[in-house]
């Protein structure tokens, strides 16, 4: 299975390539990609240089243009498609139907992937993208069990890519309005969930309080790590006490699921983390490269190596197991 790794910066791309990635994914430094944060992403020259570097090492580069265009501003997204194709991207990762139609019509030889932001989770929806736009791969949303992934892969006849490590989102990808409600900035359109410009920390009565826009998200006792304030990972007071209502701070780690994902026919394994630093990229990519070598050799897969790099220092297999069904 192909190991697809994040590259939020040119330096991170180089680290991912050297650590053993089969492919890296990245985006332009504007609202056309769903990790539109200051200090991240690539300008046009950096993307060309990054693609050339990766190709010299036999590594593919996938360019995420996976936000939904604003009405009246299609030119920005069209230009991103044109420029990524011209730069030599091995595939474009797209979510919007109109943008897929533009890419398929304008660049018929460009390989296209459906982003997780499209939340395509059934064989029928995936076949729609394949039959109408010539899509070659779909990144599945993180809501399917391994048997469901196997069924979708078999019935759709399309390559599937699944997340195996990194941050989770309790919301269906491409459908969350919490950030736009609180800040006016949408992860689905502007590419920024809980943008740093709306984040505030302050001390109140001996505790560190985090806020997003006008909303108090969490408070932390002295010495307790203060997490980044996103609404879905806030700690709230209810009739049942104080706790994480939507989602606990934890990260996906599906290393133990690799044999099942391979048997399910999955083509590619995706690591989340374009906003993470070089040490994270290097450690996670190397760990999963070793896990894939162990899988191919029929050896046990070592786990729990990456706990220090996870949210809350805890991990979950998420929906892959779906023990609640």
Measure the CA–CA gap between 96 and 306, rounded to whole angstroms: 34
| Span 255-299, pLDDT tens digits | 989 999 999 999 999 999 998 889 999 999 999 999 999 999 999
Query: What's the token pair of residue 315?
Result: 């991990």
How much of the chain, in percent, has pLDDT values that exceed 90?
A: 61
Q: Under DSSP, is residue 317 helix (H, G, I), strand (E, B) or coil? A: coil
Measure the CA–CA gap between 230 and 182, rounded to whole angstroms: 10
Query: What's the token pair of residue 137?
Result: 């791969």
Average pLDDT over residues 193-221: 87
The yes-or-no verdict on residue 191 having pLDDT over 70 is: no
Model confidence, pTM: 0.88
Q: Under DSSP, is residue 143 helix (H, G, I), strand (E, B) or coil? A: coil
DSSP 47: H
Q: Indicate the domain borders of the chain.
A: 2-168+250-320, 178-244
Smallest CA-to-CA distance from 172 within 141, 137, 140 is with 141
DSSP 232: G
Q: Decide if domain 2-168+250-320 falls under CATH 3.30.930.10.
A: no
């Amino acid at each position: 299975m192909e190991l697809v790794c994040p590259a939020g910066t040119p330096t991170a791309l180089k680290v991912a390539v050297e650590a053993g990635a089969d492919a890296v994914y990245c985006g332009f430094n504007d609202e056309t990609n769903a990790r539109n944060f200051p200090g991240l992403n690539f300008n046009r020259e950096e993307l060309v240089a990054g693609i050339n570097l990766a190709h010299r090492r036999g590594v593919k580069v996938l360019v995420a243009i996976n936000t939904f265009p604003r009405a009246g501003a299609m030119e920005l997204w069209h230009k991103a498609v044109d420029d990524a194709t011209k730069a030599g991207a091995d595939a474009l990762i797209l979510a919007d139907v109109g943008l897929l139609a533009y890419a398929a019509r304008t660049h018929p030889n460009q390989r296209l992937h459906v982003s997780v932001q499209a939340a395509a989770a059934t064989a029928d929806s995936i076949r729609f993208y394949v039959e109408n736009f010539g899509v070659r791969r779909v990144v599945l949303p993180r809501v399917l069990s391994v048997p469901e992934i196997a069924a979708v892969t078999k019935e759709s006849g399309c390559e599937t890519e699944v997340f195996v490590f990194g941050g989770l989102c309790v919301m269906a990808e491409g459908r969350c309005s919490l950030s736009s409600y609180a800040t006016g900035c949408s992860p689905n359109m502007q590419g920024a969930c809980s943008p740093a410009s709306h984040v505030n920390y302050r001390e109140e009565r001996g505790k560190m309080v985090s806020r997003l826009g006008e909303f108090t998200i969490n408070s932390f006792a002295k010495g307790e790590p203060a997490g980044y304030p996103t609404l879905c990972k806030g700690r709230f007071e209810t009739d049942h006490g104080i706790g994480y209502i939507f989602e606990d701070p934890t990260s996906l780690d599906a290393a133990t699921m690799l044999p099942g994902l391979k048997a399910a026919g999955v083509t590619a394994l995706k690591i989340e983390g374009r906003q993470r630093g070089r040490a994270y990229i290097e450690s996670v990519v190397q760990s999963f490269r070793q896990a894939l070598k162990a899988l191919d050799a029929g050896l046990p897969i070592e786990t729990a190596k990456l706990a220090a790099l996870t949210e809350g220092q805890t991990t979950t297999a998420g929906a892959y197991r779906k023990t609640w069904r």
